[in-house]
Chains A and B, each alone.
Chain A
C-alpha cells in the first residue's frame, strides 16, 4: 500500500514540511504504529531527504526530490530519487571510531535505526522490517 507519494522542492524547509505531513499520515495508520517507530521514521526521512536536497540536487531550485513510502505486512519501503549524478555506497564514510569525529552522521543514523538501504545511482531505497514485538 502506498502511504505517500510526492515530489518536493530542493530545500531543507520543504523536507521539514514533507516529514511533518508524512508523520500525520502515518499517525492515522493504527497497525504497527508506535511512538518509537514515529521517531525513527521522522529522523531517517530527514536524513535521506536532506541528503538528496543538499548533495544530490545541490539546492537547485529547478530540481526536485521524489519520495514514495509504501507499507507492506512485514516492512516499510521508502524510495527517494533526486536529480543529481548519484553516488555509491563506498562514498559514504562512517567508520571513524571517535564519535566526536564521525562524518556522514546521516547514514550512520539510518543504519543505527535498523533501516537497510541500497543505492541505485540517483535513487536510495530504504527498507525497515517491523519488529515482531510492536505488531
Chain B
C-alpha cells in the first residue's frame, strides 16, 4: 500500500485486491497507519488499482468506515472501477463509502 499525505488528509492507495487472502495484511497495515493521523481530518482510500473484490473485502471496508467515522474523521473512496461502484450500489453502501 502507498500513501500520500497532505496538510489535512491522508490517502491510502491500495495495491492489493480486496479479497479474502489479502485482507488480514491490509487490515494490519492500515491499523498501524491509523495510529498516526494527528492533524488529519480526512482519510481517502484510492481503489484505482483494484479489480478484484469479494465480501470479505466489502466487510472490511464497512468496518474501516465505521472505525474512521467513530474516531471523527471524514472517509471517502475514490477511483473505484465501475464494477465496484455498481457492487456498492447493489449493497446499498454507496451513500456511506463515496
Using a CB–CB distance below 8 Å, which chain A residues touch chain B? 11-13, 15-16, 19, 35-36, 39, 42-43, 46-47, 50, 99-100, 102, 105-106, 108-109, 112-113
Q: Are A112 and B90 in contact (CB under 8 A)?
A: yes
Q: Which residues of A contact B52 (CB under 8 A)?
A: 16, 19, 42, 46
Using a CB–CB distance below 8 Å, which chain B residues touch chain A? 17, 19-21, 52-56, 58-59, 62, 65-66, 83, 87, 90-93, 96
On whether A106 and B96 interact (CB within 8 A), knowing A16-B19, A112-B90, the answer reads: no
On whether A16 and B59 interact (CB within 8 A), knowing A43-B54, A50-B54, the answer reads: no
Q: Which residue of A lies closest to B59 (CB)?
A: A105
Q: Are B87 and A109 in contact (CB under 8 A)?
A: yes
Q: Which residues of B contact A12 (CB under 8 A)?
A: 19-21
Complex: how many Å from CA A119 to CA B21? 25
Q: Are B62 and A106 in contact (CB under 8 A)?
A: no
Q: Which residues of A contact B96 (CB under 8 A)?
A: 99-100
Complex: how many Å from CA A99 to CA B55? 13
A sample of 30 cross-chain residue pairs with beta-carbon separation below 8 angstroms, ordered by A number, consists of A12-B19, A15-B20, A16-B17, A16-B19, A16-B52, A35-B83, A36-B83, A39-B87, A42-B52, A43-B87, A46-B19, A46-B20, A46-B54, A46-B55, A47-B55, A50-B20, A50-B54, A50-B55, A50-B56, A100-B65, A100-B66, A100-B93, A100-B96, A102-B91, A105-B55, A105-B58, A105-B91, A106-B55, A108-B91, A112-B90
Q: Which residues of B contact A13 (CB under 8 A)?
A: 21
Q: Which residues of B contact A99 (CB under 8 A)?
A: 91-93, 96
Q: Which residues of B contact A15 (CB under 8 A)?
A: 20-21
Q: Which residues of B contact A16 (CB under 8 A)?
A: 17, 19-21, 52
Q: Which residues of A contact B17 (CB under 8 A)?
A: 16
Give A104 Cβ to nearest chain B Cβ, in Å.
8
Q: Which residues of A contact B58 (CB under 8 A)?
A: 105, 109
Q: Which residue of A lies closest to B20 (CB)?
A: A12
Complex: how many Å from CA A108 to CA B93? 13
